[in-house]
Chain A
């Protein structure tokens, strides 16, 4: 039976607001003024014969003149001396590392154009985040610092060295302190270089801090088990996962790795063996992880600690002093159920919390210890190196600097002037430091204050290494000569510490030869070369120890409760919750237009941050979406537009950090969002992202560039989901296949697909909605960036989008099926979410093909819907007739138009383009081609090697980057291919099957592990 559950993209769709209905009447935001032409003078008006002849004459003349242009002479400039490994037209891949992931960098004619995960990467097995995918664009960023600066003046490197060495020598004599401030560094060689620098300058100290800190966990582990580390979590070993505000599928510690682990217990393979993990999420704002949870309970920041205490009590059967019930009954129920399920899954359970509070994390440790998680789902012995920052260290530095004890400070990949919670303090402190050296690649807020800017290489220009997890070492190698006159920070440090090793390459080599290569059974030049090919060394993991918790929890509980009380908002106040957005994260990549235009997975907002609030609160305040409010907390205030966020805990506001950068690039300086870091506060020794905030409306209004309702199905049902219980009873549930599958008569002849039938399967249960595929597609297919204004006009160009749908759950946790029931719901914030990647479906009976007057879009014998851009005349009939709304029109020549010069119209930035894919001109349609360039290349490779195409040879860009393996692509004619197997799954359904357009992409029903115990 087809599900008739009600899904909606936003409340405007649900409530059918007049604007929404009006907008959705048209395919494009601004209708073509046909009516005006017809009703005005238009066709009724008489055109005098002379005017007509004039126009014809002018037209012919103009065309003739334009055609008289001489054919330009094209030059062809070959290499003078061609490097042996380069063949023009053939891509080379180099292994390297990005944030600890082993990656492969695709280069063409010596320039990197795409980053892909190394399939053997321990963390994500070939998957990569949107940030990693977009990192290649930063290489060609024209706003990077292009040469070293001393006091704002361009200098040669030797002048910089002389200056710095002299100053450092003076400081050494005076005995004053030097501070090296960096974000967390997990590279063994970089750490060794810094250690060497400290040996040469004994007064120096290395301070690591993170914009979004994990000090709470590290400190708690120190207190609980004597190990000041971030543990390595194994979500794949957990049957029951309970998360308190930890967005572990996206921004929390190691999103891509956790996604891979998490999905392995929820994907098709796992479901086939009737196994599915259970995930309960308690959180304030709707996070990406929250949207994927089986049960999601909105919880105020002030209640988080209380909820954890209750959970601890329920699991261990004790009662900590000061225990009180939660105000919300549903939440209380959920805690009881979670405790029961966790206890039942002892040894296979995991509780995580996103809080940076030491006490809260200590309590989480106690819960995990009681559940026997240590040694199974939590590994303290093969710890993570990804975050090491200590908030107290930076605070101490500021104290020292204010006293005037610090004579020099070096910033390595750190921008505290922007991301430290107390901007005033850090600016004052830095004013008292005479020598400030920044290695940052752009002239950001901190570098702007620096005396010396010694710009670092981009990581694609650098040698180096990394170690995200203890025992896993990845190597970084340059894939291009430095684009600008930059120098690797490590090399600068070597020179300034008068090291015997002059180049950082030699340093890395020595370090690996001495310490790391042998661990992987490699040695010497040959070993090094092998390493550069494989990309990493993985030492067999140590046995993870089982740790028991034996500390007194009374004081911990007391701290938590005091803090909770302090967070309870009074009258007319709200509890503020700060988070990292999935795309922009901590703001380091804010100058990347690909990331700025990637819609937030939950809110679907691009190019801005906002204040997310619940419907109830908005109604109470009489605010509309887009109204600008001032948020007043911790002595500072920022003004942000309001966004209506279903699922937001009532009485709370969520604001993303990472926006509102002031300096560091043209995109940043165009003004994107507001900086929320000053709203952080320093409590109990750590920086924490919750506070009590007062709000007031300013009366202004901003239209957010939100894509959620841009592509409407007019209420047609495209999503199907089922509960795990239902699925176990009947695997065909809701897929429309269980005996009632309709056989539609076809109006068209079927196409022959004699050789291949390229099809795709997308598992809605595996897709977390993160959006990495969108950026991967941008990079692979030269998809233009259009900017905020154009997104507001519904003109974003993404070939693949991720539609996010909400459904309501009633008191019994059942989906609400009828519209009229929605009004009766008491708790409108109890929503479930489904993410659906939507791209060209390559229909066998494609509606777009039949309406194209010039045959620019036609069907291929391989099951693809081809789009010939050079034949398209831009009637846009195809987009009108596409039921999936996946066709994109080029309203401008985005590649050569000054309006878009901040994005990709810059000539230098265009070096990132994929030369195998053409850029589209103004006035033509474009859409997903199923990476036809990769299909053709894969077939050619097979032909050259005189073998058939193997399954898995050809991977499309979105599939390649997906850590969750939600997308499977292949030849549907081969019954043994992965995609054929996936499409044979009982859960497979086709979107808008009833139209009988016969899409080439099959989706698999979303399954939620909601069972009878449901809250």
Chain B
């Protein structure tokens, strides 16, 4: 009998399990497939929605998770306009909340598709929330990891100072002790050697060296040359800040933007083509992308703070706005006139020629020395880009130079005269 009951038990378990799996499977089907939903979501929704934050439309995670009426959700997603037209109260509320901006209509989506999307959104939102919970306690640790605090630095300095003092004191004691011991043992020995002999021994080598006039001359000569060349280089490099790489208020990675993302320089530095200033982009240029891209980044939030922008409400508050004080790297003196458009638009020079491989720089540094010598060298060596530019076509001087077979450089056309840059 025992075996029967066992068999029965086994059977009922199997049945129950099967039933459970079936129910699970059915219910899973009814709730939709998050994997399929993700594909549909990315194809149709991401241009206006995000799961965790508001974009053009509401943040879908909290909205869809809190809405229990899947049928209503489905009909809204498929055709929100119809719902609005039918004066559905819920629909009207959302419509008005988003200043009556209409959402696209997705009549092509099947019930299953919509269910999949809803499932994906709910699952993803849950995941995000769980991550946040996990991250919350860790946040404190991260905050502390910002670098050594002032206290730590002072403590370290204090330890070093104390250690030094101890070393000095110990040294002193050792010296005293040695003197004491030495006083007892070595004094008689010392007395046997005359002082002059000790001194003679001490300076004997030096004296020998000093007597070698050739060597002395050589050392002085080499020293003078070294000092002079050092002075020469030091003077020439006074106020040359090649390699200057200050820390900027926002860690803007040029390597990511210009390198990985391949964004053209003039997208941000639009002045380079039409003005003397290449110009640092105003923050509204940043916002073209960063209204939606990487909105969670702390660095991006510095942009939001500067603009007085609230990513939640997407509103700007000009009273909170304050300018970003970038640190100027390329700093020509006032008495030198430089015009970007002349070089970039007319001359067709690549930005990198003067600014270096910006697309690989995590933090920008001054690549070129920006000295007058550097300017002049380029003006002497570079061919003028005159192809297709009627400005140069009728210039007799240019024709003469070409006839002579001479390279036409800016210098040939007066590009190294004082007044071309100094006025």
B328 x A90 contact (CB < 8 A): no
Whether, in the assembled complex, A78 has its beta carbon less than 8 Å from a beta carbon of chain B, the answer is yes
Tell which of A67, A862, A864, A943 touches B238, judged by Cβ atoms closer than 8 Å.
Answer: A67
B335 x A869 contact (CB < 8 A): yes
User: Nearest CB to that of A932 among chain B residues?
Assistant: B423
Assembly CA distance A357 to B279 (angstroms): 61
Interface digits, A71-82 against B, CB 8 Å rule (1 contact, 0 not)? 101111111111
Interface stretch, picked from B94-102, B198-206, B384-392, is B384-392
Whether, in the assembled complex, B413 has its beta carbon less than 8 Å from a beta carbon of chain A, the answer is yes
User: Nearest CB to that of A871 among chain B residues?
Assistant: B418
Known: A75-B325, A78-B280, A78-B324. A860 touches B419 (CB 8 A): yes
Kindly identify, within residues 387 to 423 of chain B, every residue whose CB is under 8 Å from any CB belonging to chain A.
Answer: 388-391, 393-397, 400, 413-414, 417-420, 422-423
A947 x B390 contact (CB < 8 A): yes
Whether, in the assembled complex, B271 has its beta carbon less than 8 Å from a beta carbon of chain A, the answer is yes
Chain B residues whose C-beta falls within 8 Å of the C-beta of A929 in the assembled complex: 419, 423
Chain A residues whose C-beta falls within 8 Å of the C-beta of B283 in the assembled complex: 78-81
Assembly CA distance A916 to B421 (angstroms): 11
- Min CB–CB distance B270 → chain A (angstroms): 8
Chain B residues whose C-beta falls within 8 Å of the C-beta of A918 in the assembled complex: 334-335, 337, 422-423
Tell which of B274, B326, B420 touches A90, judged by Cβ atoms closer than 8 Å.
Answer: B274
B342 x A88 contact (CB < 8 A): no
B391 x A947 contact (CB < 8 A): yes
The range of chain B's interface size is: 35 or more
B394 x A948 contact (CB < 8 A): yes
B275 x A87 contact (CB < 8 A): yes
Whether, in the assembled complex, B307 has its beta carbon less than 8 Å from a beta carbon of chain A, the answer is yes
- Min CB–CB distance A107 → chain B (angstroms): 14
Chain A residues whose C-beta falls within 8 Å of the C-beta of B390 in the assembled complex: 946-948
A917 x B423 contact (CB < 8 A): yes
Whether, in the assembled complex, A226 has its beta carbon less than 8 Å from a beta carbon of chain B, the answer is no
- Min CB–CB distance B331 → chain A (angstroms): 5
Interface digits, A855-878 against B, CB 8 Å rule (1 contact, 0 not)? 010101110101111110000000
Chain A residues whose C-beta falls within 8 Å of the C-beta of B333 in the assembled complex: 870
- Min CB–CB distance B255 → chain A (angstroms): 21
Whether, in the assembled complex, A933 has its beta carbon less than 8 Å from a beta carbon of chain B, the answer is yes
Interface size of A by Cβ–Cβ distance < 8 Å? 47
Whether, in the assembled complex, A940 has its beta carbon less than 8 Å from a beta carbon of chain B, the answer is yes
User: Nearest CB to that of B422 among chain A residues?
Assistant: A868
Assembly CA distance A947 to B394 (angstroms): 9
User: Nearest CB to that of A754 among chain B residues?
Assistant: B397
- Min CB–CB distance B321 → chain A (angstroms): 5
- Min CB–CB distance A922 → chain B (angstroms): 14
Assembly CA distance A205 to B296 (angstroms): 66
Max chain A Cβ within 10 angstroms of own Cβ: one of B271, B306, B325, B422 = B422
Known: A866-B418, A918-B335. A942 touches B321 (CB 8 A): no
A81 x B389 contact (CB < 8 A): no
Chain B residues whose C-beta falls within 8 Å of the C-beta of A65 in the assembled complex: none
Whether, in the assembled complex, B282 has its beta carbon less than 8 Å from a beta carbon of chain A, the answer is yes
- Min CB–CB distance B300 → chain A (angstroms): 15
Whether, in the assembled complex, A755 has its beta carbon less than 8 Å from a beta carbon of chain B, the answer is yes
- Min CB–CB distance B73 → chain A (angstroms): 38
Interface of B is mostly: loop
A77 x B282 contact (CB < 8 A): no
A860 x B417 contact (CB < 8 A): yes
- Min CB–CB distance B308 → chain A (angstroms): 9
Chain A residues whose C-beta falls within 8 Å of the C-beta of B419 in the assembled complex: 860, 864, 866-868, 929, 932
B331 x A755 contact (CB < 8 A): no
Known: A80-B323, A944-B341. A936 touches B420 (CB 8 A): yes
Tell which of B331, B389, B396 touches A946, judged by Cβ atoms closer than 8 Å.
Answer: B389
A78 x B397 contact (CB < 8 A): no
Whether, in the assembled complex, A18 has its beta carbon less than 8 Å from a beta carbon of chain B, the answer is no
Assembly CA distance A867 to B421 (angstroms): 11
Kindly identify, within residues 45 to 78 of chain A, every residue whose CB is under 8 Å from any CB belonging to chain B.
Answer: 67, 71, 73-78
Chain B residues whose C-beta falls within 8 Å of the C-beta of A975 in the assembled complex: none
B325 x A77 contact (CB < 8 A): yes
B327 x A76 contact (CB < 8 A): yes
B327 x A858 contact (CB < 8 A): no
Whether, in the assembled complex, A699 has its beta carbon less than 8 Å from a beta carbon of chain B, the answer is no
Kindly identify, within residues 970 to 997 of chain A, every residue whose CB is under 8 Å from any CB belonging to chain B.
Answer: none
Kindly identify, within residues 323 to 351 of chain B, every residue whose CB is under 8 Å from any CB belonging to chain A.
Answer: 323-328, 331, 333-335, 337, 339, 341-342, 345-346
Whether, in the assembled complex, A521 has its beta carbon less than 8 Å from a beta carbon of chain B, the answer is no
A87 x B274 contact (CB < 8 A): yes
Tell which of A71, A87, A869 touches B271, judged by Cβ atoms closer than 8 Å.
Answer: A87
Whether, in the assembled complex, B196 has its beta carbon less than 8 Å from a beta carbon of chain A, the answer is no
Known: A932-B423, A933-B423, A944-B341. A74 touches B328 (CB 8 A): yes
Chain B residues whose C-beta falls within 8 Å of the C-beta of A864 in the assembled complex: 419
A88 x B277 contact (CB < 8 A): yes
Known: A82-B284, A932-B419. A755 touches B341 (CB 8 A): no
Chain A residues whose C-beta falls within 8 Å of the C-beta of B231 in the assembled complex: none
User: Nearest CB to that of A937 among chain B residues?
Assistant: B339
A755 x B323 contact (CB < 8 A): no
- Min CB–CB distance A670 → chain B (angstroms): 30
User: Nearest CB to that of A74 among chain B residues?
Assistant: B328
Chain A residues whose C-beta falls within 8 Å of the C-beta of B417 in the assembled complex: 858, 860-861, 866
Known: A87-B275, A755-B414. A76 touches B326 (CB 8 A): yes
- Min CB–CB distance A87 → chain B (angstroms): 5
- Min CB–CB distance B115 → chain A (angstroms): 43
- Min CB–CB distance A858 → chain B (angstroms): 6
Whether, in the assembled complex, B281 has its beta carbon less than 8 Å from a beta carbon of chain A, the answer is yes
B306 x A80 contact (CB < 8 A): yes
Interface digits, A331-346 against B, CB 8 Å rule (1 contact, 0 not)? 0000000000000000
A77 x B327 contact (CB < 8 A): no
Tell which of B238, B280, B337 touches A916, judged by Cβ atoms closer than 8 Å.
Answer: B337
A78 x B281 contact (CB < 8 A): yes
Max chain B Cβ within 10 angstroms of own Cβ: one of A76, A858, A864, A947 = A76
Interface digits, A929-965 against B, CB 8 Å rule (1 contact, 0 not)? 1001100100110111011110000000000000000
Assembly CA distance A948 to B386 (angstroms): 12
Assembly CA distance A81 to B321 (angstroms): 10
Whether, in the assembled complex, B241 has its beta carbon less than 8 Å from a beta carbon of chain A, the answer is yes
Tell which of A82, A90, A933, A946 touches B391, judged by Cβ atoms closer than 8 Å.
Answer: A946
Max chain A Cβ within 10 angstroms of own Cβ: one of B270, B307, B327, B419 = B419
Kindly identify, within residues 759 to 774 of chain A, every residue whose CB is under 8 Å from any CB belonging to chain B.
Answer: none
Whether, in the assembled complex, B239 has its beta carbon less than 8 Å from a beta carbon of chain A, the answer is yes
Assembly CA distance A78 to B326 (angstroms): 8
Assembly CA distance A944 to B333 (angstroms): 25
Whether, in the assembled complex, A739 has its beta carbon less than 8 Å from a beta carbon of chain B, the answer is no
User: Nearest CB to that of B400 among chain A residues?
Assistant: A754
Whether, in the assembled complex, A40 has its beta carbon less than 8 Å from a beta carbon of chain B, the answer is no
Whether, in the assembled complex, A89 has its beta carbon less than 8 Å from a beta carbon of chain B, the answer is yes
Kindly identify, within residues 186 to 214 of chain B, every residue whose CB is under 8 Å from any CB belonging to chain A.
Answer: none
Max chain B Cβ within 10 angstroms of own Cβ: one of A754, A860, A919, A942 = A754
- Min CB–CB distance A83 → chain B (angstroms): 9
- Min CB–CB distance B52 → chain A (angstroms): 27
Chain B residues whose C-beta falls within 8 Å of the C-beta of A932 in the assembled complex: 419, 423
B342 x A943 contact (CB < 8 A): yes
B400 x A870 contact (CB < 8 A): no
Tell which of B241, B274, B281, B326 touches A75, judged by Cβ atoms closer than 8 Å.
Answer: B326
Chain A residues whose C-beta falls within 8 Å of the C-beta of B355 in the assembled complex: none
Q: A-side interface residues toward B, CB under 8 Å?
A: 67, 71, 73-82, 87-90, 754-755, 856, 858, 860-862, 864, 866-871, 916-919, 929, 932-933, 936, 939-940, 942-944, 946-949
Can you name 14 extra interface pairs (CB under 8 A) apart from A88-B275, A858-B417, A866-B418? A77-B325, A78-B280, A78-B282, A80-B284, A81-B283, A755-B395, A862-B414, A929-B423, A932-B423, A933-B337, A933-B423, A936-B337, A940-B346, A943-B391
Could you pull out 9 A-B pairs where Cβ atoms are within 8 angstroms?
A71-B239, A76-B326, A87-B270, A90-B274, A754-B395, A916-B276, A917-B423, A918-B337, A946-B388
6 closest cross-chain pairs (CB), A and B: A754-B397, A866-B419, A89-B275, A82-B282, A89-B277, A79-B282
